[in-house]
Structure 1
Amino acid sequence: MLKTDIISLKRIKEKIFFWKKEKIFIDIIYEDISFFIVNKFSNFVVHPGIKNLYGTLLNAILYYYPQNYSLPRAGIIHRLDKNTTGLLIVAKNLIAYNYFINLLKNREIIREYDAIVFGQIFFNNSINKPIKRHIRYHTKMMIHSGGKIAITHYFVICIFKEFTHLRIKLETGRTHQIRVHLESIQHPILGDPLYNFNKKINIQKIKSCNSISLQKILKKCSRQILHASFLKFRHPITKEILQFEKKPPKDFITIINSLYNNGYF
């Protein structure tokens, strides 16, 4: 007599979650039938997550563009960190979405950022260091030989006594890439709460500024001073080369003006 195994099948109910539409203001600087460009403000999450189910850019997009429900990530092509400001591409149909994803994959979308970093940088350079999720802290990323390739190019705009204004060009787009890379060369972004190489030394750099008013402005800095300033790519239909540029927000400009007013290196 053969023994037989008894297999019991249990039907599992799948919970389907629909993202909520929310009437949240979004600053659209360009729009046509294929896509639009958003100028994201600070303290604004792009994609919903465990800690941010509502109040995100995705929720806002679904309110103004309900047809984007059918698109992956509601048509959002790339992301910015919660407190990083600047330009984002959002597709309005599946053809445009797939087009932009391929452009991104093939590194055919030029993305440039402005940043204020601690310390003086005298030469343009590139950082080519792989990045992966941090082994111990899951909200952070880290440089690791087992990570994904990550390449960041930076260009010196102006050198101050204790800081440098950089223009940064991404070749790849890993999570927290700019922030991780700049910390790895010991020049973290001003105001970055997560990637802040030798915090005590950076506090001393703020205190060493000649102007008391400048010290106060820098101490009040509550987010990474990083802004996605520039986008360049070919239009999905016309193939015309388009470029978009947006100046940094008020808090960034206040810091820049204060640094310039207190003298260059």
Structure 2
Amino acid sequence: MLKTDIISVEKFNSSVTFLKKEKIFIDIVHDDLDFLIINKSSNFVVHPGIKHTSGTLLNAILYYFPNNISLPRAGIVHRLDKNTTGLMIIAKTLNSYNYFIKILKKRKVIREYDAIVFGQIFSNNIINRPIKRHIYCRTKMMIHLGGKKAITHYTVINIFKNFTHLRLKLETGRTHQIRVHLNSIQHPLLGDPIYNSFRKITSKKIESSTSIFLKKILKKYTRQALHASFLKFKHPITSKIMKWEQQPPNDFKNVLNALYNNGYF
């Protein structure tokens, strides 16, 4: 008779329990018993990973809100890329976490972004192109017929000589959605180090028709020009309509100011 090994499998909260609490500054815009709204800075990773086991937003949440250790992802219900700034929702109870996941899926959270893109866009439009994980580079996303539905609305705010200031509204929330979508219509985000298939073309145009002052500002700008500027949804307990608007950080504003000084289209 063969000896049988008994294997016990214990379910746990996806490594959150094992992450350390870290005193990292968080810009809190709203705080009540059920959720937080924060204004995320650039160069700030949201979730820990192989390359970032500390110094993340999740580590900071565990320090200031230790009860969040019992929540999935410490209450983080959606994410922003490392160098994307702006408004994020953090749940503080399991009920509110489940509520936000639900209304995000039902597209009942209004999320709007400010963006500066290469090239001139003259009319408002919608990008409806499915997105999936890149076939060859697993850290990237791509447009693909076999991908998940992804819809981005954009409105033109101002048109400059080589750039356009857009306000974007997400209907879905795929990873890197805005960055992938804008690159797919040949208007990648200023400063995007990954999704800019037209870097050589845009660089030549800028070099030939841009003031020295603007060139200096653009040279200093090293991240994607994307800022989560607006949030709107119903409160999970009171059902009161809540909304927040957050101005972009100074580096983003400096680029916009330089663009205005360089002249409109």
Q: TM-score, normalised by structure 2?
A: 0.95
Task: After TM superposition, list the pairs within 5 Å mapping 1:1-265 onto structure 2.
Answer: 6=2, 8-9=4-5, 11=7, 17=15, 18-265=18-265
CA apart distance, 1:15 = 11
**Equivalent-residue separation in structure 1 for 2:144 and 2:6 (angstroms):** 42
CA apart distance, 1:221 = 1.6
Change (3 A) 1:238 1:211: same
- Percent identity for Structure 1 against Structure 2: 69
Kept in 2: contact 1:231–1:243 (CA 8 A): yes
**Equivalent-residue separation in structure 2 for 1:42 and 1:208 (angstroms):** 30
**Equivalent-residue separation in structure 1 for 2:50 and 2:133 (angstroms):** 17
Q: Structure 2: which 5+ runs fail to align?
A: none
Q: Structure 1: which 5+ runs fail to align?
A: none
Kept in 2: contact 1:28–1:37 (CA 8 A): yes
1:51-83 Cα shifts (integer Å, max 9, x gaps): 111100000000000000000010011100000
Kept in 2: contact 1:107–1:172 (CA 8 A): yes
Q: Secondary structure at the match of 2:209?
A: coil
CA apart distance, 1:206 = 2.3
CA apart distance, 1:208 = 2.5
**Equivalent-residue separation in structure 2 for 1:14 and 1:98 (angstroms):** 23
The count of residues paired between Structure 1 and Structure 2 equals: 261
CA apart distance, 1:13 = 8.5
CA apart distance, 1:209 = 3.3
Deviates more, 1:10-19 or 1:85-94: 10-19
Q: Which amino acid aligns with 1:259?
A: L
CA apart distance, 1:9 = 2.3
4+ runs deviating over 2 angstroms: 6-17
**Equivalent-residue separation in structure 2 for 1:9 and 1:191 (angstroms):** 55
Q: TM-score, normalised by structure 1?
A: 0.95
Q: Secondary structure at the match of 2:167?
A: strand
1:145-187 Cα shifts (integer Å, max 9, x gaps): 1110000000000000000000000000000000000000000
**Equivalent-residue separation in structure 1 for 2:57 and 2:208 (angstroms):** 39
Q: Secondary structure at the match of 1:54?
A: coil
Q: Which amino acid aligns with 2:183?
A: E
Q: Which amino acid aligns with 2:113?
A: Y
CA apart distance, 1:220 = 2.0
1:3-29 Cα shifts (integer Å, max 9, x gaps): x8x464264787974111000000001
**Equivalent-residue separation in structure 2 for 1:85 and 1:129 (angstroms):** 24
Q: Which amino acid aligns with 1:101?
A: I
